[in-house]
A = this chain, B = another copy of it.
């Protein structure tokens, strides 16, 4: 099976479109596809979504970081969103035929190269973190660019994973890591009673002893009670399982599921896994999907 990885580098530029375009253009190399470019003026921040074979995505992302290092000056950066560097965060995300472990290795390799060739200190986060205190992005980014600049040389706890304990004079520092693909999934109930959605969300989320790797909140959306979820590891709990559990709870609460929404992108393996489970089709494989074979 072909290995496919996604990477979504975040850059501290959300106003100057020509800079954002130059960064994305640097990432547009053979073997990858730029799926999306987003920016936000008040955050003064942009995201580029790149997908493809691991080695090509690696090269694409390094090119973008290199250009961003030249074009973005953190000494002049103002924006609402927390940030510590010109290229702020770089998550590698497994999509198909690749493990989170391989994505961790990829993130470490990129970290080393960035530190060595671009002289930027690198922190590893999420699955790539080397310490508990660096798993969460918010912890790594504490004090932001300005705060880290003061602390990095003196506080040993803030020593980077790669590179010297010294900010790059204009590009600051970078957080690199690997995390699982996040599936955004909502279930709407045929009731206006938001309390029911909140109760079900409470019941099914991992935090309260519910389903593994499920984050859930109750909302009122377009006049219907909605359970809005992030499935942070669909290999542990996929959307079919979530639907089934919500259906059970709905019966107890005497309401019905109106509909559900898969929000944004989803890996083929999540869809195939839902088919396997729902129709007891254990032998079903991604390779049986004609379109997949077409492009191998």
Which residues of A approach B to under 8 Å, CB–CB?
4, 6, 33, 35, 51-52, 95-96, 239-240, 243, 257-262, 264-268, 271-272, 274-275, 278-284, 288-296
Contacts and interface: CB of A to CB of B under 8 A. Distances in A.
A294 B259 contact: no
A240 B266 CA distance: 20
B239 A259 contact: no
Contact of A290 (B239, B268, B290): B268
Contacts of A294: 4, 33, 35, 51-52, 295
Given A33-B294, A295-B295, 5 more contacts: A52-B294, A240-B279, A258-B280, A262-B288, A267-B291
B266 A35 contact: no
A291 B262 contact: no
Contacts of A265: 288-290, 293
Contact of A96 (B239, B275, B282, B291): B291
Nearest to A2: B291
A172 B289 CA distance: 36
Contacts of A280: 257-260
17 contacts: A4-B290, A33-B295, A35-B293, A51-B290, A240-B278, A243-B279, A257-B280, A259-B280, A259-B282, A260-B281, A262-B281, A265-B290, A266-B290, A271-B289, A274-B275, A274-B279, A294-B295
Contacts of A275: 262, 271, 274-275
> Ordered nearest first, which 9 A-B pairs have the shortest CB separation?
A295-B295, A259-B280, A268-B291, A265-B290, A260-B279, A260-B281, A262-B284, A33-B294, A51-B294
A288 B266 contact: yes
Nearest to A265: B290
Contacts of A52: 294
Nearest to A284: B262
Contacts of A271: 271-272, 275, 289
A239 B279 contact: yes
Nearest to A272: B271
A291 B266 CA distance: 9
B257 A290 contact: no
A283 B261 contact: yes
Contacts of A264: 288
Contacts of A290: 4, 6, 35, 51, 95-96, 265-268
Nearest to A291: B268
Contacts of A4: 290-291, 294
A104 B6 CA distance: 39
